[in-house]
Amino acid sequence: MNIQAVNEKLKEFFENNFLYGESFDDINGDESLIDKGYVDSIGIISLVAFIENAIGIKVYDSEIVPENFDSINSIYAYLKKKMNTQDKAV
Amino acid sequence: MQVCKKCLLNDNMPSVRINEDGLCNLCSTQYESRGIVNNNEEEISSLIKANREEKYQIILAYSGGKDSTYSLKMIKERYDASILAVTFDNGFLSDTCLKNIRTVTDNLDVDSIIIKYPAKKIIRAFKYIEDGKFFPRQSMERASAICNMCIMLIKNLIYYEAIIRRIPIICFGWTPGQVMTSKPLIKLNYTMVLKGFENIKNIITSRFGARYEKYFLDDAFMRENEANMPYLYYPFVKNNYKEDSVIEEIKEIGWIPPQNTDGNSSNCLLNSYANQCHVSKFGYHPYAFEISNLIREGYLTREEGLTKIGNVANPCSYKMICEQFEKITG
Ligand SMILES: [Zn+2]
């Protein structure tokens, strides 16, 4: 899967699970998803499951930190970094 | 109101949209798995082995309900570990539940402690948050505000007990509908743990003062224990979950179903009140999401799910709780 396809899937996942009819593109990419109330801690765990199951990227426990998952831009940056290392998406 | 024809989500839930085929947005977009398999049996065994000299290797959040009772039985049989069952008594556990906790831990030969906070403090906090406005909207779609609050207190308590007792594994008996995870065993960084509690901790302590601080994890305590974070283990996530066989199996170790709870709780009387508050305010059942997950994953039939959410509250328990809340907060 290339980065564009991954981003498309991420958008679909967000719109189906975290957004209430809002558009993914309208969310400020730097805003804290938890502080803004879009996602709670169980939501983060389900996002990790989505990244592992639907995208095929192995997420290590030590990587599940607010710096990687608490905003859309940090999630993008995290996925990009993962896809550029050996933990490539299948 | 439209209800999904596969699960039980309805479009009163703000994140739910029903398409022209009658399916909700979650049923119409199930992903095919790309095969990351996290099988943690060996890891769990080696964690237990490496911590053999500690008094306990597993701490289980034991509600006394059917799912955590089954989890306790399962981990007791599966691992050669010393287990501590910790129950948070919110003051509304049914008498049968308290009896079940005694009988089951006796029969399984497991140590048990029950921790209860003063009723006045707990009821004031529950009353303050019951309308859900302080919680992320996602949390409100998955459980009532009171249930969310209670679970948060339990998580804070269990993390604290695990850390001070140097117990490496925390076990939660969530059903596969309550937590959708690819990681049945997970060690969260302390910052992630704290982040999940931060908002409610601030809301409660700024409303009721510092005397409520002890019920939440302290930032400095967590930072000091960064290297000692316990693992979280969800034994149900990768096991077949069937409610009927769960109940049959735990009856063998003396568990008795309470008669005064609602259709979705097998331990807590407050749930009737919490459900009723939620349904009145939001127009959908707080268990609809969990039950729909179970239906989608094939653990429950749609008919079984419908029966469960048809039973919102036990009228006697509901009335009793209303009176108790009124006495303290009215
Ligand atoms: Zn559905």
DSSP B271-293: HHHHHHHHHHHHSS-TTHHHHHH
Å between B193 CA and nearest CA of chain A: 8
Say if residues B276 and B318 touch (Cβ distance below 8 Å). Answer: yes
The answer to whether the Cβ–Cβ distance between B196 and A34 falls below 8 Å is yes
Better-predicted residue by pLDDT, B288 or A22 = B288
For residue B72, what are its two tokens?
Answer: 């306790």
Q: Ligand 1 centroid to B25 CA: how many Å?
A: 7
The answer to whether the Cβ–Cβ distance between B139 and A21 falls below 8 Å is no
The answer to whether the Cβ–Cβ distance between B35 and A56 falls below 8 Å is yes
B142 touches chain A (CB under 8 A): yes
- Of B203, B193, B196, B202, the residue nearest B133 (C-alpha): B203
B280 touches chain A (CB under 8 A): no
Distance, C-alpha B103 to centroid of its chain: 21
Strands B185-186 and B111-116: unpaired
Å between A79 CA and nearest CA of chain B: 16
Say if residues B255 and B100 touch (Cβ distance below 8 Å). Answer: yes
In b/e form, how buried is each residue of A48-79, taking b as 16+ CB within 10 angstroms?
bbbbbbbbbbebebebbbbebbbbbebbeebb
Contacts with B31 from chain A: Cβ below 8 Å: 50, 53-54
Strands B83-89 and B58-61: parallel
Would you state the pLDDT for residue B35?
63
> How far is it, in rounded angstroms, from Cα A31 to Cα A74?
10
Å between A38 CA and nearest CA of chain B: 7
> Hey, is A55 helix, strand or coil?
helix
> How far is it, in rounded angstroms, from Cα B149 to Cα B128?
11
Å between B72 CA and nearest CA of chain A: 22
The H or E element spanning position B192 is: helix B190-208
The answer to whether the Cβ–Cβ distance between B136 and A90 falls below 8 Å is no
Interface of A with B in 45-64 (CB under 8 A): 45-46, 48-50, 52-59, 61-62, 64
Contacts with B139 from chain A: Cβ below 8 Å: 40, 42
What is the chain B residue with the closest CA to A32? B195
Strands B169-171 and B111-116: unpaired
- Average pLDDT rounded to a whole number, residues A43-59: 93
Any residues with CB less than 8 A from the CB of B202 and at least 6 apart, and which?
A: none
Would you state the pLDDT for residue B240?
64
Q: Ligand 1 centroid to A62 CA: how many Å?
A: 33
Confidence band, pLDDT 50/70/90 cuts, at residue A79: very high
Per the DSSP assignment, residues forming a β-bridge with B18 are B24
Q: Ligand 1 centroid to B220 CA: how many Å?
A: 43
CA distances from B24 to A1, B42, B55, B179, B289 (A): 26, 38, 48, 19, 12
Nearest to A64 among B31, B142, B189 (CB): B189
CA distances from A72 to A13, A37, A64, B304 (A): 12, 13, 14, 38
DSSP character at residue B229: P
Å between A29 CA and nearest CA of chain B: 18
Would you state the pLDDT for residue A89?
46
10-residue mean pLDDT profile of chain B (330 residues): values are 95 92 90 72 95 98 96 95 98 96 98 97 97 93 96 98 98 87 93 95 97 98 97 82 86 95 91 94 93 91 92 92 93
B38-89 pLDDT tens trace: 778 899 999 999 999 999 999 999 999 999 999 999 999 999 999 999 999 9
Å between B327 CA and nearest CA of chain A: 33
Mean pLDDT value across chain B: 93
> How far is it, in rounded angstroms, from Cα B197 to Cα B87?
20
The dihedral of CA B140, B142, B143, B149: what is its sign? negative
Contacts with A20 from chain B: Cβ below 8 Å: 14-15, 137
Does A37 have pLDDT greater than 50? yes
ipTM: 0.89
Say if residues A11 and A3 touch (Cβ distance below 8 Å). Answer: no
Domains and their CATH numbers in chain B: 39-256 (3.40.50.620)
Q: Ligand 1 centroid to B80 CA: how many Å?
A: 40
Mutation target vs B (from A40, A46, A55, A65; most B CBs, 10 A cutoff): A40
The answer to whether the Cβ–Cβ distance between A64 and B17 falls below 8 Å is no
How is domain A3-21+30-89 classified at the CATH fold level? 1.10.1200
Does A88 have pLDDT greater than 70? no
